[in-house]
C-alpha cells in the first residue's frame, strides 16, 4: 500500500518539479575560467548560480546580462557568457574574421569576461536568441560568495554604435 | 455549504488544474506535440493548414538524419517556428546563395531547406542552423483526414 502511494506521488510530483525547473529556474554549477573574475575567481573552487528561466521567457535581454545558452558548436553543452551587443549594434571584435560586426536580426553578441581565455562570439560569431536558455541572477553557493550578479559592461567592450 | 468546504473543494480543484498543466507541459516539452503548418515553403509535401505530429525525443538525443523534416525556432526570430527538411549534416558540402556559394556545414549545425526551393526562406538565406534550435521531428500528418500519412523515410 505504501509502495503504491509512493509511486503515485512520484508520478504526479515529477512533472510538477520538471515544470518548475523549466519555467521558473534552477541552480547550476559553473565550470571553467571564462567568466573570471565574476564567477569562479579562483580556479580551484566552483560557484553555483541561480539561473532564471522566467527572465528570458520572452527573449528580452539587456546588454551586460549574464546568460546561459546552448553552445552553437555542441548542442549538448551549455555555456555561460555576458551579452555585449544586441541586434543592430556594431561591435568591434577581438580576433574574429572581420574587425567590426553588425549583429544581425534575432541575434546577440556574447563574450566571456576573461578575455583571451574564453570561447565566445569572437570565435563562433553572433548567436541566435533562440539558443538562450536562462539568465544568471545570483551566486548561491558557496555561502561566503552570496551576491547578486550585476548587469554591467566594461567601458572598453561597449558596442561602437547602439541600435535605436 | 460551509466556508470550510468551499475552501477545501476549491484548493483540490486548483491542485488538479496545476497537476494537469504540469503533465501537459512535460508531454509537450519532452515527448511530442501537434503543430499547424502555414506557408508555402514545404509544398508539395506539406500544405498550409496541415496538422502534423512531431516528436521531441530524436532531436534531444541528436539522432537526426538527412531527409528528416524538423521544426525549429527561426534563427532570425526566436518567437517564430519554421518547418524544413534537413539536407545537410555537419561536414557535408552544401550549396548556398551568394556571396558565400558552396560551403561546409560546421560542427553542431544542420542545413535546412524547404521542399519548395523557389519559395522558401531557409539555410540558403540565413546559413547553417545550430542544432540547439531544433525542437521536433515531424512523424506524420494527422489532418486533413484523407491525407493521413507518415512523413519519415524509414
Query: Per-residue pLDDT tens for B19-62?
Result: 899 999 999 999 999 999 888 888 888 888 889 999 999 988 88
Interchain CB contacts (distance < 8 Å): A and B = 75
H/E run at residue B85: strand B77-88
What pLDDT is attached to residue B3? 87
**Quick check: B74 pLDDT over 80?**
yes
A1 band by pLDDT with thresholds 50, 70 and 90: low
Measured in degrees and rounded to the nearest 5, phi and psi for residue A155 equal: -55, -35
Give buried/exposed letters for A88-127 (b at 16+ CB in 10 A, else e).
ebebebeebeeeebbbbebbbbbbbbbbeebebbbebbbb
The answer to whether the CB atoms of B18 and A16 lie below 8 A apart is yes
Query: Of A34, A52, A68, A121, which residue is the catalytic one?
Result: A34
Residue B97: pLDDT band (50, 70, 90) is low
Tell me how far apart the alpha carbons of residues B79 and A122 are, in angstroms, rounded to a whole number: 26
Distance from CA of A107 to the nearest CA of B (A): 7
Residues of chain A in contact with residue B77, where contact means CB-CB under 8 angstroms, are 105-106
Pairing type for strands A66-70 and A132-141 reads: antiparallel
Percentage, residues of chain A above pLDDT 70: 98
Residue B86 has pLDDT above 60, yes or no: yes
| CA–CA gap between residue B122 and residue B129 (Å, rounded) | 9
Is A34 catalytic? The answer is yes
Domain boundaries, chain A: 2-157
Q: Is A78 a catalytic residue?
A: no
pLDDT of residue A135: 93
Conformation bin of residue B49: beta by default, left when phi > 0, alpha when psi is -120 to 50: left
Q: What is the rounded CA–CA span in Å between residue A55 and residue A142?
A: 23
- pLDDT value of position B42: 85
Measure A125 CA to nearest chain B CA, in Å: 12
Chain A residues with CB under 8 Å of B108 CB are 71-75
The average confidence (pLDDT) of chain B is: 87
Confidence of residue B1 (pLDDT cuts 50, 70, 90): low
B50 touches chain A (CB under 8 A): no
> Do the Cβ atoms of A19 and B25 come within 8 Å?
yes
A69: closest CA of chain B, how far (Å): 9
Cβ distance B78 to A130 less than 8 Å, yes or no, reads yes
SS3 B89: coil
CB A109 within 8 A of CB A122: no
The pairing of strands A132-141 and B77-88 is unpaired
Q: Is B132 touching A (CB cutoff 8 A)?
A: yes
Closest Cβ opposite residue A128 in set B62, B78, B107: B78
A2-157: which CATH topology?
Umud Fragment, subunit A (2.10.109)
From residue B69, give the alpha-carbon distance in Å to each of A12, A18, B58, B115, B136. Answer: 33, 28, 12, 10, 9
pLDDT, one tens digit per residue, over B103-116 is 888 888 999 988 88
User: Using the beta-carbon criterion (under 8 Å), do B19 and A15 form an inter-chain contact?
Assistant: yes
Give the model confidence (pLDDT) of A11-70 as tens digits.
Answer: 888 889 999 999 999 999 888 888 888 888 776 778 899 999 999 888 889 999 999 999
Beta strands in chain A (DSSP E): 25-29, 48-52, 66-70, 78-85, 90-92, 100-102, 107-111, 127-128, 132-141, 147-148
With a CB cutoff of 8 Å and minimum separation 6, the contacts of A40 are A30, A31, A32, A33, A46, A47
> Residue A53's pLDDT is what?
92
In chain B, what is the greatest distance between 2 CA atoms, to the nearest angstrom? 75
Q: Which residues of A touch B78 (CB under 8 A)?
A: 59, 106, 128-130, 132
Average pLDDT of B95-104? 72
* CB-closest option in A23, A75, A106 to B76: A106
Q: Search chain B and give the residue with CA nearest A103.
A: B76
Q: Do A34 and A123 meet the contact criterion of CB atoms below 8 Å apart?
A: no
Q: Which residue has the higher pLDDT, A117 or B12?
A: B12
pLDDT in tens, B53-68: 999 999 888 888 888 8
What's the CATH number for B33-150?
2.10.109.10
Closest-approach residue (CA) in chain B for A107: B76
Which residues are paired to B52 by β-bridges? B35, B141
B100 band by pLDDT with thresholds 50, 70 and 90:
low
Confidence (pLDDT) at A155: 80
* A70–B130 CB contact, under 8 Å: yes
Summary mean pLDDT of chain A: 87
Q: Inspect the interface and report whether the beta carbons of A131 and B133 lie closer than 8 Å.
A: yes
Residue A13 phi, psi (nearest 5) = -75, -40
For residues A2-9, average pLDDT: 85
State the pLDDT confidence band at B99, using cuts at 50, 70 and 90.
low
Contacts of A130 in chain B (CB under 8 A): 73-75, 78, 132-133
Residue B98: its pLDDT value, please? 57
Amino acid at each position: 500500500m505504501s509502495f503504491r502511494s509512493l509511486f503515485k506521488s512520484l508520478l504526479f510530483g515529477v512533472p510538477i518539479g520538471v515544470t518548475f525547473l523549466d519555467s521558473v529556474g534552477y541552480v547550476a554549477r559553473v565550470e571553467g575560467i571564462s567568466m573570471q573574475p565574476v564567477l569562479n575567481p579562483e580556479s580551484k573552487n566552483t560557484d553555483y548560480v541561480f539561473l532564471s528561466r522566467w527572465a528570458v521567457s520572452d527573449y528580452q535581454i539587456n546588454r551586460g546580462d549574464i546568460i546561459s545558452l546552448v553552445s552553437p558548436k555542441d548542442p549538448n553543452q551549455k555555456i555561460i557568457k555576458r551579452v555585449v551587443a544586441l541586434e543592430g549594434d556594431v561591435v568591434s571584435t577581438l580576433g574574429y574574421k572581420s574587425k567590426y560586426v553588425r549583429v544581425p536580426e534575432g541575434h546577440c553578441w556574447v563574450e566571456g569576461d576573461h578575455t583571451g581565455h574564453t570561447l565566445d562570439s569572437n570565435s563562433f560569431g553572433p548567436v541566435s536568441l533562440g539558443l538562450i536558455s536562462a539568465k544568471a541572477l545570483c551566486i548561491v553557493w558557496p555561502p561566503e560568495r552570496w551576491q547578486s550578479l550585476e548587469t554591467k559592461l566594461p567601458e572598453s567592450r561597449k558596442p561602437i554604435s547602439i541600435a535605436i | 455549504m460551509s466556508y470550510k468546504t468551499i475552501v477545501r473543494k476549491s484548493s483540490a480543484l486548483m491542485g488538479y488544474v496545476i497537476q494537469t498543466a504540469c503533465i501537459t507541459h512535460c508531454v509537450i516539452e519532452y515527448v511530442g506535440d501537434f503543430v499547424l503548418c502555414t506557408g508555402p515553403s514545404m509544398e508539395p509535401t506539406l500544405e498550409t493548414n496541415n496538422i502534423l505530429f512531431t516528436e521531441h525525443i530524436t532531436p534531444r538525443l541528436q539522432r537526426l538524419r538527412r531527409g528528416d523534416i524538423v521544426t525549429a525556432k527561426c534563427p532570425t526570430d526566436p518567437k517564430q517556428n519554421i518547418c524544413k527538411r534537413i539536407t545537410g549534416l555537419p561536414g557535408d558540402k552544401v550549396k548556398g546563395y551568394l556571396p558565400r556559394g558552396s560551403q561546409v556545414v560546421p560542427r553542431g549545425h544542420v542545413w535546412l531547406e524547404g521542399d519548395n526551393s523557389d519559395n522558401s526562406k531557409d539555410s540558403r538565406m540565413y546559413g547553417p542552423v545550430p542544432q540547439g534550435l531544433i525542437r521536433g521531428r515531424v512523424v506524420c500528418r494527422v489532418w486533413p483526414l484523407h491525407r493521413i500519412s507518415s512523413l519519415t523515410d524509414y
